[in-house]
Homo-oligomer: A and B are copies of this chain.
Amino acid sequence: MEEKIPHVVIVGAGFGGVAAIKALAGTNVKITLVDRTNYHLFQPLLYQLSTSVLSTDDISFPVRAMFRKRKNIDLFMAQATDIDGKNKILHTNHGEIAYDYLIVSAGATTNYFGLESVEKYSYGMKTIQETLHIRNHVLHMFERANKQLDSEDVRRQMLTFICVGGGPTGVEEAGALAELVAVQKLDYPHLNFDEVSIKLIEATDTVLPMMPEKLRNYTLKVLRKKGVEVMLNTAVADCSEDGLTLKDGTFIPSKTVIWAAGVKANPVVATLGTKCDRSGRIIVTKTLQVPGYPEIFAIGDNACFLHNDRPLPTVAPVACQEAHAAVDNIRKLLSGQKTLKEFVYKDHGSMATIGRCEAVVSWGYLRIGGFLAWCIWMFLHLLRLEGIHADITVGIKWMWNFISGTRLGRIITNIKFEDIND
């Protein structure tokens, strides 16, 4: 009689999904990874793609190549559409997959908080396609402004770049845009760079809320020094093709609004029908299980797990730690154990870059900002990239960028995103 090997299905090839597969190594299970792409995307560096420092395949890694040596792992490239928890079936746009255990790590999409005009006219930055769209558009604005000899107003509108959201994504994007502008300045001798403006808009009274106050203030100082206009306590009301309207009625003419104000869980999460938080994340048990479905675990951006009475942030280290805990518990279930382990989050701190040579790092007792923090940030990100090849290429590009300031990714490829429908 053939022994039935348990089937673990993992939805999403993000940090959580990939960590779960690695953690499952050596367990006698069949693993199917379901993702609508064939690559693991290193999302924390998307802002460097959007600002021409890195290119697409520096931050995206074919998942099959990552698990080449493991024959019990397969990728099923499809969009997960529905989780049928009762019958233990995952539905996708390419058919259904039966599972014994399911890890929901399908990541997040941009949260527009119901602002339809913002969703329509602003740029999200969660996928490769969206990010290339930003890069092409920003570079194109310089070319168009350079041809716009008549109207200063039109030029100023084209050269006003707005980032909304003072979290790490918004801060890093605004800082990187400021650096990009400095490079562009060398290439457009006929353009008046006083007409260029970068604005960072944040609804609360601070940027990088997870950081200690000292580093928050340092971040503000550095951003302003780099030419970013930081607008705190500023809420967005509306967006159009021609600019952004604030809650107080102010209109800022601009062709470029980058929306980094929040994320919400992948909509497939909601199809389970269990209780979710405001961001669409499943309120999981202390063992990371989905209430009512002991064989389903939700992690990363798909799980709402309270830590010190607040939900854990939607960052890679949380997803990775949760992946390990979920896999440990799946192993316990496989071996017939009834008592699972409760997840305990270890906070290792956080970090963010604010452009070339500047970063802030809050790590245990270490709280620093500046060049050293930037070096630590680079080192740790190189460590976390997949494979030596990416380390070398990205390392060289960063070094080159540091020495010469050059950004050779400044090409406009006229790409808009499009889904595959088949």
Contacts and interface: CB of A to CB of B under 8 A. Distances in A.
A215 to B, nearest CB: 33
A237 interface: no
5 contacts: A37-B413, A74-B190, A129-B415, A415-B415, A418-B418
Contacts of A409: 57
A345 interface: no
B412 A39 contact: yes
A221 to B, nearest CB: 31
Nearest to A62: B410
A364 interface: no
Chain copies in complex: 2
B57 A94 contact: no
Given A71-B189, A77-B143, A186-B68, A38 B418 contact: no
A140 interface: yes
A94 to B, nearest CB: 6
Contacts of A397: 393
B417 A415 contact: yes
A411 B58 CA distance: 11
Nearest to A411: B39
Interface in A41-77: 55-58, 60-62, 64-65, 68, 71, 74-77
Given A75-B143, A77-B143, A418-B415, A408 B38 contact: no
A420 B414 contact: yes
Nearest to A58: B55
A343 B230 CA distance: 59
Given A38-B139, A408-B390, A64 B129 contact: no
A396 interface: yes
Contacts of A94: 147
Contact of A411 (B38, B95, B392, B393): B38
Interface string A382-422: 00000101101100110010000010111111111111101
A62 to B, nearest CB: 4
A56 B413 contact: yes
Given A37-B414, A415-B417, 13 more contacts: A38-B411, A39-B411, A56-B56, A61-B408, A64-B188, A75-B143, A75-B146, A76-B147, A77-B412, A129-B414, A129-B415, A414-B418, A414-B420
A420 B189 CA distance: 25
